[in-house]
Structure formats: structure tokens, C-alpha cells
Structure 1
Amino acid sequence: MANDWSDWIGREARAAERLDESLAARWLATLDLTAPEGAALPQGVHFALCTPQAPTAMLGEDGHPARSDDPASLYPPIDLPRRMWAGSEITFLRPLMLGDRIDKLSRVVSLSEKEGRSGRLAFLELEHEIAANGEPAIRERQTLVYREAAAPDASLVPPVVGEKLFDPQAWDRVQTMVPSEALLFRFSALTFNTHRIHYDAPYAREVERYRGPVVHGPLLATLLLQLAADVAGPVGSFGFSARSPAIVGDTLHLAVREQGDTLELAALNDAGAVLTTAHASR
């Protein structure tokens, strides 16, 4: 890299909050879920807990907190403007319960760069440790990828879905939905995510050259976690990886099949293209 980011390796940030009734109600309403019988919340709710809370005046053009070499900043000022959540590997150690005090420790694990087909790429790996009432509850290894700016005349991605080739027979169970602008807005608000690709259609098209607002990676992960729970109950481990953007208004197929002791999951479009892959085990 042009810069030496070694000072960021091992850098940590801490946050805390309570999983209260209001947050739980908003989470369930956003995802059209009924309240659980007990105090345990559905897996995935941690995406809405201990979120970054940069002041509005400190946000950059893309809606993320402006990049800074401030020693207090967890994220290094990587000089690549486009950012996406590429995937996570998550271990669930205990359920998160209504009323739990949540403590989150985030740590920079690695930062690397390589040349891809679309130009320079930088990969930032973070480790998140979440405790509930002082007990270890969730461990997550998150990968962020930074990319070069899109050319102003670059083709919009992904292309419009053409022939419908998705085959539900290849899967044990399929749920079909069409993500709406309202769902994306609510999930952005719930997770305090101001990345403009998720709610600002002109920005998404004209600046980042997406065909429309992009469905959040952790939203797709949450929907696939719910599907896994419907099939097998709460899981012990879960991982997901983004392959191609899911665009608001496009039909989305959430699919699962059993592979021995593991659940193989995916989000696919009408053409049968895989947008997100995931795996889960009990």
C-alpha cells in the first residue's frame, strides 16, 4: 500500500448499550416477525447493537464517517472511496435476551491490498466480541472491502435480470420476496447505517454506478439466518459472503438445503445468479 497501516493493527474500540424493549420491537417490526414467546431475540439482532455513532457533521460524501488518521479512529483512512461489507464468520455462544446489557469490543485484525479486475482492492478484517451481561455471546470476524471509484460512464451493475432461470427444485426450501425501499430505509435506521447506496437512488446510480439502491449485506444475512432457524432452530455458527449486489425491487429467492450436518444457504435473483452465499451449522 502507499501508506503504512501497521499502527492500526490491534487497534480497538468499545461500545455498550442495553437490548431494551423499544429496540427489540423495532427489530421485529422491520422484519415482520412476531414477538418470541421467551426473552431470547432472533439471531441477527446484534447487527443493530452498539452501532457506530459518528456525528452528522463528521460524515463523508458516501454517508460513512469521514476517514481520518485520528488516533481514536478504528478505521484507517484508506484512499479508496467505495466500501462494502464483503462477509462475516459468526459464532453464537448464547442467545441475546431482552434486557441484556451488551458490551462490544471491536479490533482491527489485518489490512491487505491486492490488484483485482476492477483495480486496487483493500481488505480490512475486524474481530468483534459481544458479551451479554458479562458473558461471551457472539464472536464475529468481519471483512470489509474498499474499491476504486467507478468511472462516470461505467455500465450500471448488476445488469437487468433477463430470462427467469432460477430452479427451486435444487433446494430443500425457498422463500421468495421483493425487498422494498421501506425495508431498506428501516434497516438503515435500525442499524444507524448512513451509507447512501442503501437509500439514495441518484447517488447509488450516478456515483457508485449501481442500478438502484443496494440491499444491505447484513440484512440478507439476517434473512438467511431466519430461514436457517425455520429449518433447524438457532444455529451455532453462520457465515456469509457477498457475491453480487441485490437491488431493491428485484425478486429475491432465499434458499436452503441440507448438506450433512451443515445448511447451505443462498440469496439468488430470478436469473438464478447467486448474490450471497451462506452456511450454517447447529
Structure 2
Amino acid sequence: MSIEHPPAPEAVEEPDRSWLDEPPVVHGTWQSSVERADDVLSPAAVANLHDLLDRAGDPPMAIPVMWHLAAFTPRSPQAELSPDGHPRTGAFLPPMAGRQRMFAGSRVRRRGVLRPGDPLERISRVTSIDVKRGRAGELVFVGVRQLLTGPRGWVCQDDTIVYREPAPLRTPPPAAAEPDPWTRTRIIDAPLLFRYSAITYNAHRIHYDRSYACDVEGYPGLVVHGPLQATLLADLAGRHVPEDLIVDFSFRATAPAFDTADYELTGRPTAGAVELTGRSGGAVTMRATARLKESRD
């Protein structure tokens, strides 16, 4: 009688770490530094995110793309928070006092799997600073790379954060929706935004403090987190394709979304990828691409 053995786990390629040896980024008297941290991917946080997304059944054993944001939540003494609720800049991030913060977009690459309960290591650093001037005044684009590694896989995330001078809000007009085959509508309300802020320990007041969002920063309502929009779009893709095939997920915010309208999600499969669009009040607020394993270079 032959004994069947379980298949050996697929070898996971090593992540690129050469960027850690690059010269520091300099902005005035400030220069970038490498930050290292350890954490455990909390099963409770994964279960909470599973419930937030209204997924059926038990929480997944291997987390879907964007769920790694439940780990490495921000740490800062209460006395060191800025008036907007974010940790004060000037240490890991360049000094940006008096500017409004926006999440512009990100690219997430992942190999292997991360599971609830996994011990994780994170290495982070600012990789670029680009100053531009537009109709809204001076814009500072800050690139941040984070590498999360676990016993069975890793995630590398490149974020672009925009700091702008306070300026009147400009929103794009509604745009006709493409006839995409995959659609889903999410009701956006204060409890949803509060729960996501709690899961990710995001204290930015524009997401849960209506008087601050409207009276101080001039928004028409509570602002939907950029990462939450991206997570909703990734969730739409994961409901139609095997989630373990998504090895590269990139998204770009095109306009803010608010709790004044439902969030409309659409998606369509292409050769080796899924193209996704998020809309709020008829306006396109985010576009994303989920690239599948067979199409990676």
C-alpha cells in the first residue's frame, strides 16, 4: 500500500531588498530612515474585516489582497497626534504641518500567503518626494514602501501620499458608467467608515468626525478611506476570480468619495487581469487593476 503525502508548498521567490541600500531621500533638513517593526496578523482583526465586507462563511485561512492592512496599525502617543488625528509628521515622514493629507494610490505585490496568526516583520522607508504646483497650490507627493514578510509569503506595498495646501474642494462631474459585467453597490454610512477606521486604527478625523470634515476641511460629508475603496474593489475581483491568483493589485484615486452617496463598483476581466472602477455620486473616484498570476513578468 502506497502512502500519499501532501504536495510540497510552492517555493516563494525572495522579495527585492536592494531599495534599502539606496541613499536616503532628503527634503530640506529632513532625511528618510528605515523603520523596522514586528507584529502578528490578528485573527480577530481578520474576522472583523470579513464581517465588514459582508462575506459569507468563516474568515479565510489565507488573507485576500489588501487585508494585510489589518496588521501594523499606526502607533503614536495621543499627545503626538496632529489636529487632524494623524501622527505628527517630521520623523518617519517629512514635516507637513498645516497641510491636508490625501491617499493618492498604491501598488501591492504579493507572493505566497499570509494567514491569521502569522508573525510578521515590516520594513518601511520613504522612497521619493516630488513637489509640484497645480491649481490647488503646492502639492507634495511622498512615496512610501513597506515590505511585510511572514513564514509563508510576503507583501510589498508602494504608497503615494499627497500633502496639499488647504484649498476649496474640486470634484469631477458625473461620468457615464462603462457596461462592465461585474457590479456591486455598497451603502456608505458612518458605521462602515468608523468600523474600518477601528480595524486599521486610523484616527484621521475626516472619516468619522463630520463637523471636522465639513467645517474645518470643507468636505460635503465624511470621506471614504482610499484603502477602503481599494479593498472594496479588490473584494469585487475576489468574488469572481480565485483570490490566490491576484499577485499584483494597483489603484489610483481620482477624486474623493463621501458618505453622501452609495459606492458603485464595476469590474471586467481582461487578458490576465481585472479592471475595476469605483464611483461615488456618479463620479469616478478610483480605478484599479488586479493582475493575475499567469500574467506576471
d(CA) in 2 for partners of 1:37 and 1:147? 38
Runs of 5+ in structure 2 lacking a partner?
1-25, 293-297
* Letter matched to residue 112 of structure 1: D
Show the 5 A alignment for 1:61-72: 61-68=83-90
Matches within 5 A, 1:124-273: 124-133=142-151, 136-150=153-167, 154=168, 158=171, 166-167=176-177, 170-234=179-243, 235-271=246-282, 273=283
Give aligned-pair identity as a percent: 35
**Equivalent residue number for residue 288 of structure 2:** 278
CA distance in 2, matches of 1:37, 1:187: 16
The 3 A distance-change label for structure 1 pair 6 and 66 is: closer
Q: Check whether the contact 1:80–1:146 (CA below 8 A) recurs between aligned residues.
A: no
Q: Residue 257 and residue 214 in structure 1: after superposition, are their counterparts in 2 closer, same or farther (change >3 A)?
A: same
Residues in 2 aligned to 1:78 and 1:94: alpha-carbon distance in whole angstroms: 36
The amino acid across from 1:257 in the alignment is R
The answer to whether the 8 A contact 2:258-2:280 is kept is no
TM-score by length of 2: 0.83
- Assess, with a 3 A threshold, how the Cα gap between structure 1 residues 238 and 264 changes in structure 2: closer, same or farther: same
Residue of structure 2 in register with 1:106 after alignment: 124
Q: Which residue of 2 aligns with 1:53?
A: 75
2:54 corresponds to: 32
Q: 1:167–1:277: structure 2 CA closer, same or farther, 3 Å change rule?
A: closer
Counterpart of 2:193 in 1: which secondary structure?
helix
Question: What SS does structure 2 have at the residue aligned with 1:63?
Answer: coil
1:242-280 Cα offsets, whole Å, 9 max, x none, are 111110140211010122222110101343x21101011
The alignment covers a number of residue pairs equal to 265
The C-alpha deviation readout for 1:73-99, integer Å capped at 9, x for no partner, is 211112451001110011011221122
Which residue number in structure 2 is paired with residue 92 of structure 1? 110
CA contact (8 A) 1:228 1:263 kept: yes
| 1:41 alignment partner, one of 54, 57, 63 | 63
5+ long unaligned stretches in structure 1? none
- Determine which structure has more spread, i.e. the larger CA radius of gyration: 2
Three-state SS of the structure 1 residue aligned to 2:228 is helix
User: What RMSD in Å do the two structures reach over aligned CA positions?
Assistant: 2.1
Task: Look up the SS of the partner of 1:236 in the other structure.
Answer: strand
Q: If the length of structure 1 is used for normalisation, what is the TM-score?
A: 0.87
Distance 1:77 1:119, change over 3 A: same
Q: Deviations over 1:195-223 (max 9, x none)?
A: 01101111111111111010000001111
Counterpart-to-counterpart distance in 1, 2:41 and 2:57: 14
Asked if structure 2 preserves the Cα contact closer than 8 Å seen for 1:205 and 1:212, the reply is yes
